[in-house]
């Protein structure tokens, strides 16, 4: 493949700004693709959370402007040095829209920012204006989640962007439950023909303006973050959240590519955030990490053979915490300890605070985000629990494999695609998988894991097998490049 100009557009990316797994993807994928010899730029908003001095950000060029909601909005572009990552990061500076305490949510109300429609319609136009101003017209614009959904639409319906008539657009859905749906009145702010907002067109979704629908409808190719999730979101409202019909119509253009993980960050062989590094060839350090985890979280030093089950998650129903709540007392009666890290719904904060008091020797719940503790839980736990109702891809099960921490997961989305159910008799499997979304099935999988854990020889073989799995970004990048090629071919066919 010839060298391509590729622009990856995301509302967040590590290490600059993060609320969830999308940031990990947006930070790692450009580096992997640039490693194949392509000219890659990443662009995100310049949020307050972005530490400008830490990353050597510099303003470039003159003030630019676009029209949003009938107003002319000025902005500047900042760039970070290319460095060893081999790609260039751009940032859209507009303090009125992005200099806020949180990325998408107003902490005073607990709800989304009331002007998110204006913020991200501005961002879409600013991205395209920046490309024009810096003479970077990409072959591929890879958009991610609803906040970027207007970009494929603008390329198709707004003549302002004729410069991009050979540019193919990819739209990645990381979690279809987040849709960017706004009141009908929001459409007037987009500066587009009113006729585009009608049933059967690309913006209207149940009498609302949907940025997600715009991305799905107008992009040349659609991608989501695992093959199973790509099938699930076409199958029923349970997974598709109202988009199953639209996606089924575009099934020929809908692909699933499992996320990779950044082994420069999540790798026990080089992880400086854990007390002792270890590898499949020299795994002894994992036991020392387990002792350090107990000490860090205040779990008593139980018998050495009592397993620790790690949980790192947003505390929400989607992540299976209703199952954990239902089974909590029986779960904590088992011969195990639990190390939990996360924040989320208040009802689960209350639950785990109560469980901490009731079972102080069995569970330690740290209700915050702490990157160092996250690494320690991955390194020091024996098992990792992810009983998700749905999981587009999931990253923690992949981190867990690398650290020899055996995942216990529900068979859904990316969990189904990445974890093979254990069969101790055949000597196969990398985790424990249950099928129905049911607390009894979850408990049965945990009990089976505990039973296998008691056979130290079988467990160590399984642990080493897990650690040798390869879910590097380089493998995923190859599949993305194949998808880009398909999008360009489709674009060329349409142009002809």
**All domains in the chain, ordered by first residue:** 5-260+474-495 (3.40.50.2000), 285-470 (3.40.50.2000)
User: If phi over 0 gives left and psi between -120 and 50 gives alpha, with beta otherwise, what is residue 54?
Assistant: alpha
Residue 42: which of 56, 53, 28 has the closest Cα? 28
Polymer length of the chain: 496
pLDDT number for residue 81: 84
Structure tokens that stand for 350 in this block:
């209350």
Q: For residue 365, give the nearest of 319, 313, 405, 410 by alpha carbon.
A: 313
Pairing assessment for the beta strands 337-341 and 204-205 based on DSSP bridges? unpaired
Single pTM value for the model: 0.91
List, for residues 184-199, the tens digit of each pLDDT value.
999 999 999 999 999 9
pLDDT under 70 in the chain at which residues? 84, 304, 494-496
pLDDT at 304: 66
Those residues with Cβ within 8 angstroms of residue 244's Cβ, 6 or more apart along the chain or in another chain? 233, 234, 235, 236, 237
User: How many angstroms separate the CA atoms of 331 and 340, rounded?
Assistant: 14
pLDDT by residue (tens digit) across 246-303? 999 999 999 999 999 889 889 999 999 999 999 999 999 999 999 999 999 999 887 7
pLDDT for res 1: 72
Q: Is 14 left (phi over 0), alpha (psi -120 to 50) or beta?
A: beta
- CA dist 429 and 195 (Å) reads 54
- What does the angle CA 80 – CA 81 – CA 83 come to, to the nearest 5 degrees? 130
pLDDT at 21: 85
Q: Is 35 exposed, middle or buried (0-12, 13-18, 19+ CB in 10 A)?
A: middle
Residue linked to tokens 């099935």: 441
Select from 145, 118, 110 the least CA-distant residue to 25.
145
pLDDT tens per residue across span 212-260: 999 999 999 999 999 999 999 999 999 999 999 999 999 999 999 999 9
User: How many Å apart are CA 105 and CA 135, to the nearest integer?
Assistant: 34
Segments of 304-405 assigned E as strands: 308-312, 337-341, 363-366, 383-386
Q: Please state, in angstroms and as integers, the Cα–Cα distance from residue 109 to each residue in 26, 113, 464, following that order.
A: 28, 9, 47
What is the pLDDT, as a whole number, of residue 86?
A: 87
- Exposed/middle/buried for residue 50 (C-beta within 10 Å: 0-12, 13-18, 19+): buried
């Amino acid at each position: 493949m010839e060298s391509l100009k590729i622009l990856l557009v995301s509302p967040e990316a590590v290490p600059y700004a993060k609320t969830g797994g999308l940031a990990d993807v947006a930070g790692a994928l450009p580096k992997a693709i640039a490693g194949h010899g392509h000219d890659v730029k990443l662009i995100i908003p310049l949020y307050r959370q972005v530490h400008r001095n830490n990353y050597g950000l510099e303003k470039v060029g003159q003030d630019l402007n676009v029209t949003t909601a009938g107003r002319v909005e000025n902005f500047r572009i900042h760039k970070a040095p290319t460095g060893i990552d081999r790609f260039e990061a751009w940032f859209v500076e507009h303090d009125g829209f992005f200099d806020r305490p949180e990325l998408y949510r107003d902490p005073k109300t607990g709800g989304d920012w009331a002007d998110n429609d204006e913020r991200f319609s501005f961002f879409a136009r600013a991205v395209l204006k920046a490309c024009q101003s810096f003479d970077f017209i990409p072959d591929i614009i890879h958009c991610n989640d609803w906040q970027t959904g207007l970009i494929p639409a603008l390329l198709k319906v707004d003549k302002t962007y004729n410069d991009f008539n050979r540019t193919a657009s990819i739209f990645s859905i990381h979690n279809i439950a987040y849709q960017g749906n706004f009141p009908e009145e929001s459409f007037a702010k987009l500066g587009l023909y009113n006729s585009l907002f009608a049933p059967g067109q690309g913006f209207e979704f149940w009498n609302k303006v949907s940025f997600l629908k715009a991305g799905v409808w107008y992009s040349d190719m659609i991608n989501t973050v695992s093959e199973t999730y790509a099938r699930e979101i076409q199958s029923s409202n349970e997974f598709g959240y109202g988009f199953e019909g639209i996606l089924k119509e575009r099934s020929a253009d809908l692909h699933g590519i499992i996320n990779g993980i950044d082994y420069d960050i999540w790798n026990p062989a080089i992880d400086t955030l854990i007390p002792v590094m270890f590898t499949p060839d020299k795994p002894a350090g994992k036991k020392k990490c387990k002792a350090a985890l107990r000490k860090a979280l205040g779990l008593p030093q139980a018998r050495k053979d009592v397993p620790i089950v790690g949980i790192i998650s947003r505390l929400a129903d989607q992540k299976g915490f209703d199952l954990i709540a239902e089974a909590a007392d029986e779960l904590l009666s088992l011969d195990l300890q639990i190390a939990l890290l996360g924040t989320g719904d208040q009802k689960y904060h209350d639950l785990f605070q109560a469980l901490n008091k009731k079972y102080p020797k069995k569970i330690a719940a740290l209700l915050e985000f702490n990157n160092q503790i996250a690494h320690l839980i991955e390194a020091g736990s024996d098992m990792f629990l992810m009983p998700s109702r749905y999981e587009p891809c999931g990253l923690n099960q992949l981190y867990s494999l690398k650290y020899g921490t055996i995942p216990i997961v529900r068979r859904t989305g990316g969990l189904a695609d990445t974890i093979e159910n254990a069969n101790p008799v055949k000597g196969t499997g990398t985790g424990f998988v249950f099928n129905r979304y049911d607390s009894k099935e979850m408990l049965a999988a945990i009990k089976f894991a505990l039973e296998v854990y008691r056979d130290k020889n079988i467990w160590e073989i399984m642990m080493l097998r897990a650690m040798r799995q390869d879910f590097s970004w380089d493998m995923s990048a190859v599949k993305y490049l194949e998808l880009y090629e398909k999008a360009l071919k489709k674009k060329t066919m349409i142009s002809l």
